[in-house]
């Protein structure tokens, strides 16, 4: 094996042309490959039916006629540090460096649906993001930043985060006297991913499903440039799904949610407009490119033939990606620069619409500013020096690319048929079948790594020595927030509760409770509650109680008296 050969005694070096040769004959998703491909491998491909020109149904080659000649992809990445003020400063720096989308995140307790003074919040508080427990934290984080003509993305874990933070953005615009219909961006807002990847405790599936539909409905009516729902394949793939499974997953999730939307809320796909998928860019270069092409083609067919979309906009798929954090390694982290750059290139060749590139030091800690700037500069180099975006779908027509695109489509369709045979997406979510697919694939991949059938440079092959650049990258490791910062956060939320207008708080949570109980859309009630200073934990608790569940998702605290009285008086 390559790993063994690299450790050969220097006195007995074997000069062998097979040293470091390939050890596999299949893609990362286990699709067997021939040595080369010919026209015979794609003889069933019909250009007009299966490919067509860029901008034409089924959008295999991209959703715009001129693709990146007219509009480059959105360059975004998650920025969230320990405090709103630190995050605000970082946003301003990165926008000046060419970032075009602001991707928001928060710490784990907030994503779970609990406040920073909850007994389980301390250890993870401020780690990986700010504690955005109330509207005023967003006002500090986005102070001096425009709310119009900027793409905001919400990339959180639980559905409570998407409900509350979308409400914060709308509330801020209304407080500033801005037209909320100009709000742009997207939210993952995926109840399937929230459960199978994170087992997020904020809401049971029945509530998560309802809130997902509420957010889509409200956004279509009030913020049409905001995509309130983006099925997520990033986290399922980085948890273990293959590219084929990921493709089937996002298509199945989108079909399930939009079918419910059409049947229950009477909102058509034509009204919703273009769909957004959040997908992963792995290290298998050609498989990643073909995955994006197959997803666009498959969605166009589903949108038209199954969901009744009649317009090109509604049949087209926008793909926002995150390059694979799972592929990044702590060993020889300089190698991550090659991984990230190749993943960015695969996204551009695959015609995606938004790129959130991971950072070369991300396996070690929160990314440094220099690593973030490298992400942007790598995309600038691909654009302005390599000139890759000058031609739409430049790999289109390649025997291999077209064959592999077909293989991914066939494999994904087979999985979708199996899902239907098992009762559909919601049934497969509740039965644990979707989670089982992740676990089985992850175990198969790990077995290949252990057996040397899947090489990871610097980990199980070509280990080598780490020089000063690698050591410098390692020194960026994120420091755990201080006790002083955590104590200040708890003091801040206590001050908020002590100084807010309690009568207004009571009125808004009562309306939120009633809207939830009566089956009305809860988004407007959440917006008004956020303006009154109601916290994330309180919003979660009120909605849970309206459904008959306990106030606290972790069953550790009781509802505050002013909230506990709701169920007795209604």
Please classify residue 506 by burial: count the beta carbons closer than 10 Å to its beta carbon, then call 0-12 exposed, 13-18 middle and 19+ buried.
Answer: middle
Residue 379 neighbours by CB under 8 Å, 6+ apart:
73, 75, 98, 344, 355, 357
Confidence bin at 368 (pLDDT 50/70/90):
confident
The mean pLDDT value for 556-568 works out to 89
The CA distance from 455 to 502, in Å, is 60
What mean pLDDT is predicted for residues 126-149? 92
The answer for residues whose C-beta is within 8 angstroms of residue 454's C-beta and 6 or more apart is 23, 24, 28, 445, 448
Which helix or strand (DSSP H or E) is residue 437 part of?
helix 433-450
Highest mean pLDDT of the ranges 87-91, 170-174, 327-331? 170-174
The radius of gyration of the chain's CA atoms, rounded to the nearest angstrom, is 24
Q: Pairing mode, if any, of strands 74-78 and 101-104?
A: parallel
Is residue 200 classed as helix, strand or coil in its secondary structure? coil
List the chain domain ranges.
1-44+232-358+392-458, 495-569
Q: What percent of the chain has pLDDT over 70?
A: 95
Q: Please provide the average confidence, as pLDDT, over all residues in the chain.
A: 92
pLDDT at res. 441 = 94
Phi and psi at residue 12, to the nearest 5°:
-125, 45
Q: H or E element: which one contains 320?
A: strand 317-323
Tell me the per-residue pLDDT of 525-553, one tens digit each, with 9 for 90 and over: 999 999 999 999 999 999 999 999 999 99
Percent of the chain with pLDDT over 90: 81
CATH number of 1-44+232-358+392-458: 3.20.20.240
| Predicted pLDDT at 478 | 64
pLDDT at 187 over 70: yes
State pLDDT tens for residues 472-492.
888 876 667 889 999 999 999
The angle at the Cα of 268, spanning 267 to 270, to the nearest 5 degrees, equals: 130
pLDDT greater at residue 99 or residue 186: 186
Q: Confidence class of residue 18 from pLDDT cuts 50, 70 and 90?
A: low
Please tell me the total number of residues recorded for the chain in this structure.
570
- Residue 491 phi/psi, 5-degree rounding, is -65, -35
pLDDT-wise least confident of 35-49, 360-374, 423-437, 509-523? 360-374
Handedness of CA 40, 41, 44, 47 (dihedral sign): negative
Q: How many Cα neighbours within 13 Å face the side chain of 2? A: 22
8 A C-beta contact, residue 230 and residue 567:
no
Element (H, E) at 271: helix 269-272
CA angle 355, 357, 360 (to 5 degrees): 170
pLDDT at 19: 60
Average pLDDT of the residues in 238-259: 97
Residue 366 · residue 87 · CB < 8 Å? no
Q: Does the pLDDT at position 44 exceed 80?
A: yes
Task: Tell which phi-psi region holds residue 266, choosing left (phi > 0), alpha (psi between -120 and 50) or beta.
Answer: left
Task: Look at strands 74-78 and 226-227 and give their pairing.
Answer: unpaired
Round to whole Å and give the CA distance between 320 and 356: 8
- Dist CA 267 CA 567 (whole Å): 32
**Per-residue pLDDT reduced to its tens digit, 251-261:** 999 999 999 99
Residue of 20 and 461 predicted with greater confidence = 461
Question: How many Å from the N-terminal Cα to the C-terminal Cα in the chain?
Answer: 70
Where helices occur in 67-202 by DSSP H, the ranges are 84-96, 108-112, 135-141, 159-175, 191-196
User: What is the pLDDT, as a whole number, of residue 9?
Assistant: 44
pLDDT digits (tens, 9 = 90+) for 66-110: 999 999 998 887 777 788 998 899 888 888 888 777 889 899 999
DSSP of 125-145: TTTTS----SHHHHHHHTTTS
Interval 286-310 mean pLDDT:
98
101-104 vs 151-154, strand pairing mode:
parallel
State the CB neighbour count (10 A cutoff) for residue 161.
Answer: 28
Confidence class for position 7, pLDDT limits 50, 70, 90:
very low
- DSSP secondary structure letter of residue 203: S
Taking residues 209-228, report their average pLDDT.
97
Give the rounded distance of the alpha carbon of 339 from its chain centre.
19
pLDDT at 95: 83
For the four alpha carbons of 51, 57, 58 and 63, in that order, the dihedral sign comes to positive
**pLDDT of 12 over the 70 cut:** no
Torsion of CA 71, 72, 78, 79, to 10 degrees: -90
Distance from C-alpha of 154 to C-alpha of 161, rounded to nearest angstrom: 8
CB contact burial 91-112 (16+ within 10 A = b; e otherwise): beebbeeebbbbbbbbbbbbbb
**DSSP state at residue 39:** G
Mean pLDDT value across residues 264-285: 95
pLDDT, tens digit, 9 for 90 and up, residues 373-424:
899 999 999 999 999 999 999 999 999 999 999 999 999 999 999 999 999 9
Residue 16: per-residue pLDDT: 54
Phi, psi of 52 (to 5 degrees): 65, 170
HSE on the CB side for 363, CA within 13 Å?
21
Joined tokens for residue 175: 């407080």
The count of C-alpha atoms lying within 13 angstroms of the C-alpha of 138, restricted to the half-sphere facing its C-beta, is 29
**pLDDT surpassing 60 at residue 6:** no
């Amino acid at each position: 094996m390559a790993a063994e050969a690299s450790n050969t005694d220097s006195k007995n070096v074997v000069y062998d042309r097979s040293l470091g040769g390939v050890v596999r004959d299949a893609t990362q998703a286990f699709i067997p490959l021939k040595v080369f491909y010919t026209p015979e491998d794609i003889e069933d491909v019909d250009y007009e039916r299966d490919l067509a020109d860029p901008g034409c149904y089924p959008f295999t080659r991209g959703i715009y006629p001129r693709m990146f000649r007219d509009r480059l992809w959105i360059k975004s990445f998650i920025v969230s540090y320990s405090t709103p003020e630190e995050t605000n400063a970082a946003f301003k720096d990165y926008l000046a460096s060419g970032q075009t989308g602001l991707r928001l995140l928060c710490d784990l307790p907030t994503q779970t649906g609990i406040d920073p003074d909850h007994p389980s919040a301390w250890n993870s508080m401020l780690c990986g993001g700010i504690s955005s427990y109330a509207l005023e934290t967003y006002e500090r984080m986005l102070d001096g930043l425009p709310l119009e003509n900027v793409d905001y993305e919400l990339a959180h874990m639980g559905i409570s985060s998407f409900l509350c933070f979308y409400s914060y953005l709308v509330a801020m615009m209304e407080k500033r006297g801005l037209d909320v219909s100009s709000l742009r961006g997207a939210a993952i807002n995926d109840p399937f991913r929230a459960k199978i990847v994170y087992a997020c405790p904020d809401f049971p599936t029945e509530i998560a499903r309802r809130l997902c539909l509420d957010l889509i409905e409200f956004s279509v009516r009030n913020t049409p440039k905001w995509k309130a729902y983006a099925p997520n394949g990033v986290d399922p793939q980085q948890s273990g799904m293959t590219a084929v499974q990921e493709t089937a997953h996002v298509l199945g999730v989108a079909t399930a949610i939009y079918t419910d939307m059409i049947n229950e809320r009477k909102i058509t796909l034509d009204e919703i407009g273009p769909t957004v998928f959040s997908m992963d860019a792995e290290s298998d270069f050609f498989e990643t490119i073909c995955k994006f092409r197959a997803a666009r083609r498959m969605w166009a067919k589903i949108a038209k033939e199954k969901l009744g979309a009649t317009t090109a906009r509604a049949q087209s798929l926008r793909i926002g990606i995150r390059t694979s954090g799972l592929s990044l390694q702590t060993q020889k982290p300089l190698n991550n620069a090659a991984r990230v750059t190749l993943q960015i290139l695969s996204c551009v060749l695959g015609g995606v619409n938004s790129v959130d590139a991971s950072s070369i030091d991300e396996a070690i800690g929160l990314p440094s500013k220099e690593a973030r700037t490298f992400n942007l500069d790598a995309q600038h180099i691909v654009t302005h020096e390599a000139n890759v975006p000058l031609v739409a779908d430049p790999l289109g027509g390649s025997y291999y690319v077209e064959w592999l695109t077909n293989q991914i489509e066939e494999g994904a369709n087979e999985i979708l048929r199996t899902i239907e045979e098992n009762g559909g997406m919601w049934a497969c979510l509740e039965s644990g079948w979707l989670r089982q697919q992740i676990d089985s694939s992850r175990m198969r991949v790990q077995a290949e790594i252990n057996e040397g059938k899947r090489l990871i440079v610097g980990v199980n092959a070509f280990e080598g020595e780490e020089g000063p650049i690698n050591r410098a990258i390692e020194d960026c490791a994120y420091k755990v927030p201080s006790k002083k910062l955590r104590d200040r956060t708890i003091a801040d939320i206590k001050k908020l509760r002590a100084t807010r207008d309690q009568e207004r708080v009571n009125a808004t949570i009562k309306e939120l409770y009633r809207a939830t109980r009566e089956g009305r859309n809860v988004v407007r009630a959440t917006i008004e509650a956020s303006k009154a200073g109601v916290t994330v934990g309180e919003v979660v608790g009120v909605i849970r109680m309206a459904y008959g569940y306990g106030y606290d998702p972790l069953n550790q605290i009781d509802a505050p008296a002013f909230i506990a009285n709701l169920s007795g008086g209604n």
